[in-house]
């Protein structure tokens, strides 16, 4: 990482990106309002396949960072940052992080591999859901399984947990140990010996699962021994998207609380006129805008293919995690008794904030990664 | 002919790096090129802002010495141009631009900090004195550069019977006048770069009122707006890199003299640059280093977002107004990191770490406390309702204020009327 105080070009989204964000917000307002979120979080699959199809075919959300060769629009990670921020606001129940943020990101890195042509067009048109077993920590979980040759193919045995949307994924990508080192493999849903169970999660709006592989046939993807670098790169991208989602969720909670503070009257005054409330809201706004700046700039590093991406992804994931947790906690406090009820959306954001903070590595882990990247002692995957 | 060509031609005829500093500045100021956006009759050329910016660029590129970057030039002169009478303009603008006059602000008081409109320095008009004179009594504080100042811009209360914002007047005070007493104010970090100023029966000619009598609040706000628009670097004086020639050398010396007051200024922002370059094997210290680097990067990004949106002609977003709060948070986080990095050496007094730790508290106070800043953000950005105030709509003399144990309301008014108010005042 270069001098952190060095000047960088100024950044703001262009008009087209802002307009796309508005379109996504309107769509989610229609198809994923709070009642719908609550309905879906109680279902087995946890999402609505029709809405997913519409997101893919009408809005092109699934193909934003997929090259045109594979049916996408090749716009890039910044447009996805816009989408994730909106999904975070709405707590939209959909396999966006798993299928688009992880599986599509990984396959897009391997354009020459047969798996890219085989699965990416399906991901783009909404017919294929995918996920990547990255592990729960900030360091990627490699290997998750043991790979054994069997005739011309491979059989995988092992277990991976905290896999996002494992219960609905049509294709699963994971690293497995081979003689050449950890290698990336892809297993299809329904393969022999492959079991996927949904975990009972703190956040019911995002599903996590456990994968069990017992001599499961799987195809190697990418170069032999190349899993670590690919998984680390996907971890970075997914961390940036998650950071954008966290910024969106925090922004929504702040807006909700500010509206409440303008109208809730106690002691003959709107509670928002009390400095104890005002100051807390101003502090939350600082967290929200700072989280946005972090997520946007990490997104820009991703879009530019910058060598700083690992450091900025760690920075953004750490900051946005803490910011969202703090904003959710402060929001519940300011909403008072109302904020502690099941009916109010605050607890759904609280749940999402707590679980997103832990997913893909908690803030402490990412800060440690950031410092290691800063002082050049980082010798992880790449 | 373009502005740049005009100016290039003029510089070819007039600019000589071997001129004395004052001699050159006089030529520059009298030509109008020092402040080309100002009106032609007041040392300007009446150029539109874009052309003036172009002229500024040409001067900077040619490394031509311009007016000094001082309180006088950056803050006072624009305010006098905007609010001053022709007499004040003709008396004070040129010496400020040339660098002959140094100025200080006489705003804050021991009893009026965040609530600046609550000042109690008293100015009374004594038309019977020769030349129509105001008499000033009061105590000002946090006056930067007052030791060296020739003039002070003073905010005083001239009417106690109207609400607080309406009874204020701005006056130009001669800092060498009888009754002006300047004392350096030692700060917690050992520096004394500010002063307190005690004014005892100081005479100010009536024509030295800046703006309207009773209109001081508008003048002060114009000046504070100038200050805010200069941003966090205001008060520091950039030393020119190129010192070839007598003029540039003298300008560099002048800037270095001014800068010696401000050597601690970078430290009050916490020196995140030093934290980012530091190494530690302690996992807890490494966490704090990461926090500082994170806040430093985000502060720069948010400022950049504000600039970019402004350039795109968009309504200013929330990110710009939060900059000051972010600066405070970053400085505090950096101070924590410095203390951790120093280990037992944090016990020592004569270290850069000590200077940082003892300078950082200034950043969340100076130029508007964090608490006031949060009120502003909450009210103007988030649209939360204002606090009910008890003092905005009543005569100032009835407002509770700081000071030694005061007699109760009725007695106080009586005492002030009979004791402090001269006969005939307010009539």
Q: Three-state SS across B213-224?
A: CCCHHHHHHHHH
- Residues B382-401 have a mean pLDDT of 90
B14 touches chain A (CB under 8 A): no
> Is the per-residue pLDDT at A317 higher than 60?
yes
Question: Is pLDDT larger for residue B241 or for residue A151?
Answer: A151
pLDDT of A7 reads: 62
B319 touches chain A (CB under 8 A): yes
Q: What confidence tier does B243 reach under pLDDT thresholds 50, 70, 90?
A: confident
pLDDT in tens, A9-43: 899 999 999 999 999 999 999 999 999 999 999 99
pLDDT of B427 reads: 29
Residue given tokens 């009594």 in the structure block? B137
- Residues B367-390 have a mean pLDDT of 91
Task: Read off the pTM.
Answer: 0.89
Cβ within 8 Å, pair A273-B386 = yes
pLDDT in tens, B98-118: 999 999 999 999 999 989 999
- Which one of A1, A269, A297 has the shortest CB-CB distance to B301? A297
- Which one of A4, A273, A290 has the shortest CB-CB distance to B384? A273
Which residues from B are below 8 Å from A8, CB to CB? 300-301, 304
Helix H, strand E, coil C: the string for chain B is CCHHHHHHHHHHHHCCCCCCHHHHHHHHHHHCCCCCCCCHHHCCCCCCHHHHHHHHHHHHHCCCCCCCCCHHHHHHHHHHHHHCCHHHHHHHHHHHHHCCCCEEEECCECCECCCHHHCCCEEEEECCCCCCEEEEEEEEEEEECHHHCCEEEEEEECCCCCCHHHCEEEEEEECCCCCEEEEEECCCCCCCCEEEEEEEEEEEEHHHEECCCCCHHHHHHHHHHHHHHHHHHCCCCCCCCCCCCHHHHHHHHHHHHHHHHHCCHHHHCCCHHHHHHCCCCCHHHHHHHHHHHHHHHHHHHHHHHHHHHHHCCCCCCHHHHCHHHHHHHHHHHHHHHHHHHHHHHHHCCCCHHHHHHHHHHHCCCCCCCHHHHHHHHHHHHCCCCCCCCCCCCCCHHHCCCCCCCCCCHHHHHHHHHHHHCCCCCCC
Helix (H, G, I), strand (E, B) or coil at A371: helix
Which residues from B are below 8 Å from A10, CB to CB? 304-305, 307-308, 311
Q: Which residues lie below 8 Å from residue A56, measured CB to CB, with a gap of 6+?
A: A62, A63, A124, A125, A126
* Exposure b/e, A265-290, CB count within 10 A at least 16 = b: eeeeebbbbbeebbbbbbbbbbbbbb
B373 touches chain A (CB under 8 A): yes
Backbone φ and ψ of A312, nearest 5°: -70, -30
- Which one of A8, A368, A375 has the shortest CB-CB distance to B304? A8
> Is the per-residue pLDDT at A380 higher than 70?
no
Closest CA of chain B from A136, distance in Å: 20
> Is the per-residue pLDDT at A97 higher than 60?
yes
- Residues A157 and A216: beta-carbon distance below 8 Å: yes
Cβ within 8 Å, pair A278-B384 = yes
> Is the per-residue pLDDT at B423 higher than 70?
no
Backbone φ and ψ of B102, nearest 5°: -105, 145
Measure the CA–CA gap between B318 and B306, rounded to whole angstroms: 8
- Residues A323 and A247: beta-carbon distance below 8 Å: yes
> Is the per-residue pLDDT at B53 higher than 80?
yes
> Is the per-residue pLDDT at B237 higher than 50?
no
* Token pair of B110 as six digits: 């021991």
- Other C-beta atoms closer than 10 Å to the C-beta of A43 total 11
Which residues from A are below 8 Å from B271, CB to CB? none
Cβ within 8 Å, pair B304-A11 = yes
B298 touches chain A (CB under 8 A): yes
Measure the CA–CA gap between B50 and B30, rounded to whole angstroms: 21
pLDDT in tens, A51-92: 999 999 999 999 999 999 999 999 999 999 999 999 999 999
- Which one of B283, B301, B325 has the shortest CB-CB distance to A293? B301
Cβ within 8 Å, pair A370-B293 = yes
B386 touches chain A (CB under 8 A): yes
Which chain A residue has its CA at the smallest distance from B290's CA?
A367
Cβ within 8 Å, pair B371-A279 = yes
CA atoms within 13 A on the CB side of B244: 5
- Residues A332 and A339: beta-carbon distance below 8 Å: yes
Q: What confidence tier does A130 reach under pLDDT thresholds 50, 70, 90?
A: very high
- Residues A167 and A209: beta-carbon distance below 8 Å: yes
User: Which of A277, A322, A264 minimizes the C-alpha distance to B382?
Assistant: A277
Please, which residues bridge with residue A162 across strands?
A: none
Measure the CA–CA gap between B393 and A346, rounded to whole angstroms: 40
User: Which of A148, A147, A211 minimizes the C-alpha distance to A184?
Assistant: A147
Question: Is pLDDT larger for residue B411 or for residue B374?
Answer: B374
- Other C-beta atoms closer than 10 Å to the C-beta of B351 total 14
- Residues A120 and A104: beta-carbon distance below 8 Å: yes
Cα distances from A338 to residues A39, A152, A207, A344, in angstroms, run 21, 61, 27, 7
Closest CA of chain A from B385, distance in Å: 5
Work out the angle at residue B216's Cα, subtended by the Cα atoms of residues B215 and B221, and round it to the nearest 5 degrees.
Answer: 110
Measure the CA–CA gap between B230 and B226, rounded to whole angstroms: 7
Cβ within 8 Å, pair B322-A286 = yes
Work out the angle at residue B409's Cα, subtended by the Cα atoms of residues B406 and B412, and round it to the nearest 5 degrees.
Answer: 55
pLDDT of B420 reads: 35
Measure the CA–CA gap between A346 and B58, rounded to whole angstroms: 56
User: Which of A266, A361, A296 minimizes the C-alpha distance to A322?
Assistant: A361
Strands A265-266 and A208-221, sheet pairing: unpaired
Which residues from B are below 8 Å from A370, CB to CB? 290, 293-294
CA atoms within 13 A on the CB side of B64: 25
Cβ within 8 Å, pair B312-A12 = yes
Which residues from B are below 8 Å from A272, CB to CB? 378, 384-385
Cβ within 8 Å, pair A319-B298 = yes
Please, which residues bridge with residue A150 across strands?
A: A153
User: Which of A306, A303, A293 minimizes the C-alpha distance to A85?
Assistant: A293
Cβ within 8 Å, pair A282-B305 = no
Cβ within 8 Å, pair A4-B272 = yes
- Residues A180 and A212: beta-carbon distance below 8 Å: no
pLDDT of B64 reads: 94
Which residues from B are below 8 Å from A299, CB to CB? none
User: Which of B101, B102, B103, B99 minimizes the C-alpha distance to B24?
Assistant: B99
CB pairs under 8 A between A and B: 150
Cα distances from B426 to residues A27, A131, A360, B126, B213, in angstroms, run 66, 81, 72, 10, 12
Measure the CA–CA gap between A350 and A25, rounded to whole angstroms: 21
- Residues B17-26 have a mean pLDDT of 95
- Residues A27 and A59: beta-carbon distance below 8 Å: yes
Cβ within 8 Å, pair B308-A275 = no
ipTM for this prediction: 0.95
- Residues B123-150 have a mean pLDDT of 92
pLDDT in tens, B319-340: 667 999 999 999 999 999 999 9
- Residues A231 and A184: beta-carbon distance below 8 Å: yes
Helix (H, G, I), strand (E, B) or coil at A160: strand
Which residues from A are below 8 Å from B312, CB to CB? 12, 15
Cβ within 8 Å, pair B276-A4 = yes
Which residues from B are below 8 Å from A318, CB to CB? 290, 294
Write out the H or E segment, with its range, that includes residue A35: helix A34-40
Closest CA of chain A from B325, distance in Å: 8
User: Which of B105, B50, B43 minimizes the C-alpha distance to B74?
Assistant: B105
User: Which of A243, A280, A221 minimizes the C-alpha distance to A87?
Assistant: A243
Which residues from B are below 8 Å from A334, CB to CB? none
Cβ within 8 Å, pair B387-A273 = yes
Closest CA of chain A from B398, distance in Å: 24
Which residues from B are below 8 Å from A3, CB to CB? 273, 276
Cβ within 8 Å, pair A375-B279 = yes
Please, which residues bridge with residue B195 across strands?
A: B143, B184
B369 touches chain A (CB under 8 A): no
Cβ within 8 Å, pair A8-B325 = no
Which residues from A are below 8 Å from B382, CB to CB? 258, 281-282, 285
- Which one of A9, A274, A286 has the shortest CB-CB distance to B326? A286
Cβ within 8 Å, pair B384-A370 = no
Please, which residues bridge with residue A149 across strands?
A: A154
pLDDT of B319 reads: 67
Residues in chain A: 382
Strands A153-164 and A145-150, sheet pairing: antiparallel
Which chain B residue has its CA at the smallest distance from A286's CA?
B322
B316 touches chain A (CB under 8 A): no
| Among B residues 324-343, those touching chain A with beta carbons less than 8 Å apart | 325-326, 329
Residue given tokens 């007499």 in the structure block? B87
- Residues B376-397 have a mean pLDDT of 91
Residues of chain B with pLDDT > 70, as a percent, come to: 90
CA atoms within 13 A on the CB side of B342: 20
Measure the CA–CA gap between A238 and A185, rounded to whole angstroms: 19
- The DSSP letter of residue A159 is E
User: Which of B115, B106, B222, B205 minimizes the C-alpha distance to B154?
Assistant: B106
Please, which residues bridge with residue A209 across strands?
A: A163, A198
- Which one of A261, A283, A370 has the shortest CB-CB distance to B290? A370
């Amino acid at each position: 990482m270069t001098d952190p105080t060095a000047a960088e070009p100024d950044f703001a989204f262009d008009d087209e990106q802002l307009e796309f964000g508005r379109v996504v917000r309107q769509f989610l307002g229609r198809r994923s309002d709070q009642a719908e979120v609550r309905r879906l979080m109680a279902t087995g699959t946890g999402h609505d396949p029709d809405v997913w199809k519409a997101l893919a075919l009408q809005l092109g959300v699934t193909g934003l960072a997929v090259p045109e060769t594979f049916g996408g629009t090749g716009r890039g990670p910044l447009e996805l940052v816009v989408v994730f921020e909106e999904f975070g606001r709405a707590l939209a129940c959909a396999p966006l992080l798993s299928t688009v943020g992880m599986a599509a990101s990984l396959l897009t890195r391997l354009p020459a591999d047969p798996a890219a042509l085989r699965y990416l067009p399906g991901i783009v048109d909404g017919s294929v859901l995918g996920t990547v077993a990255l592990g729960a920590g900030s360091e990627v979980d490699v290997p998750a399984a043991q790979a054994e040759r069997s005739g011309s193919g491979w059989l995988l045995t092992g277990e991976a947990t905290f896999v996002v949307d494992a219960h609905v994924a049509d294709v699963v990508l994971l690293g497995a140990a081979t003689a050449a080192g950890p290698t990336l493999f892809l297993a299809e849903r329904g393969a022999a010996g492959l079991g996927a169970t949904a975990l009972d999660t703190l956040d019911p709006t995002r599903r996590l699962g456990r994968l069990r592989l017992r001599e499961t046939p799987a195809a190697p993807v990418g170069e032999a021994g190349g899993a670590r670098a690919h998984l680390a790169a996907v971890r970075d991208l997914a961390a940036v998207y998650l950071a954008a989602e966290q910024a969106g969720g925090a922004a929504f909670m702040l807006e909700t609380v500010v509206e409440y503070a303008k109208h809730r009257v106690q002691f003959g005054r709107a509670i928002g006129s009390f400095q104890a409330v005002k100051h807390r809201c101003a502090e939350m706004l600082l967290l929200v805008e700072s989280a946005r700046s972090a997520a946007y700039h990490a997104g820009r590093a991703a879009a530019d293919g910058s060598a700083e991406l690992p450091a900025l992804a760690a920075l953004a994931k750490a900051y946005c995690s803490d910011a969202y947790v703090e904003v959710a906690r402060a929001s519940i406090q300011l909403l008072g008794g109302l904020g502690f009820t099941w009916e109010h959306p605050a607890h759904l954001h609280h749940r999402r904030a707590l679980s997103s903070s832990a997913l893909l590595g908690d803030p402490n882990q990412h800060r440690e990664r950031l410092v290691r990247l800063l002082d050049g002692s980082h010798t992880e995957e790449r | 002919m373009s502005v740049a060509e005009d100016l290039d031609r003029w510089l070819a005829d007039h600019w000589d790096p071997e001129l004395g500093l004052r001699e050159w500045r006089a030529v520059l100021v009298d030509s109008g090129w020092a402040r080309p956006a100002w009106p032609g009759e007041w040392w300007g050329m009446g150029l539109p802002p874009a052309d003036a910016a172009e002229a500024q660029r040409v001067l900077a590129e040619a490394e031509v010495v311009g007016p000094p970057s001082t309180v006088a030039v950056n803050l006072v002169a624009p305010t006098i141009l905007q609010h001053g009478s022709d007499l004040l303009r003709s008396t004070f603008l040129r010496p400020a631009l040339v660098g002959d006059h140094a100025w200080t602000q006489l705003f804050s008081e021991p009893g009026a900090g965040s609530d600046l409109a609550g000042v109690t320095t008293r100015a009374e008009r004594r038309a019977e004195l020769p030349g129509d004179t105001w008499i000033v009594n009061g105590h000002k504080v946090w006056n930067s550069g007052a030791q060296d100042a020739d003039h002070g811009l003073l905010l005083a209360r001239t009417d106690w019977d109207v609400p607080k914002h309406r009874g204020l007047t701005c006056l130009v005070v001669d800092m060498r006048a009888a009754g002006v007493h300047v004392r350096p104010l030692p700060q917690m970090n050992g520096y004394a770069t500010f002063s307190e100023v005690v004014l005892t029966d100081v005479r100010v000619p009536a024509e030295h009122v800046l703006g309207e009598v009773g209109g001081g609040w508008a003048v002060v706000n114009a000046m504070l707006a100038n200050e805010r628009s200069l941003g966090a670097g205001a008060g520091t004086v950039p030393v020119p890199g190129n010192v070839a020639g007598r003029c540039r050398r003298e300008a560099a010396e002048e800037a270095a003299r001014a800068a010696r007051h401000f050597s601690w200024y970078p430290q009050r922002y916490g020196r995140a640059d030093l934290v980012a370059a530091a190494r530690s094997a302690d996992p807890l210290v490494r966490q704090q280093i990461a926090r500082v680097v994170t806040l430093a990067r985000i502060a720069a990004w948010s400022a950049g977002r504000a600039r970019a949106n402004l350039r795109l002609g968009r309504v200013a977003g929330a990110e710009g107004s939060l900059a000051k709060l972010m600066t405070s948070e970053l400085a505090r986080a950096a101070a924590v990191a410095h203390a951790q990095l120093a280990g037992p050496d944090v016990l020592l007094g004569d270290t850069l770490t000590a200077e940082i730790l003892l300078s950082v508290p200034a950043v969340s106070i100076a130029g508007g406390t964090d608490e006031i800043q949060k009120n502003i953000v909450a009210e103007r950005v988030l649209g939360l309702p204002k606090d009910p105030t008890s003092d905005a709509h009543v005569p100032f003399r009835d407002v509770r204020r700081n000071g030694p144990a005061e007699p109760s309301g009725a007695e106080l008014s009586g005492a002030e009327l009979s004791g402090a108010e001269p006969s005939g005042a307010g009539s």
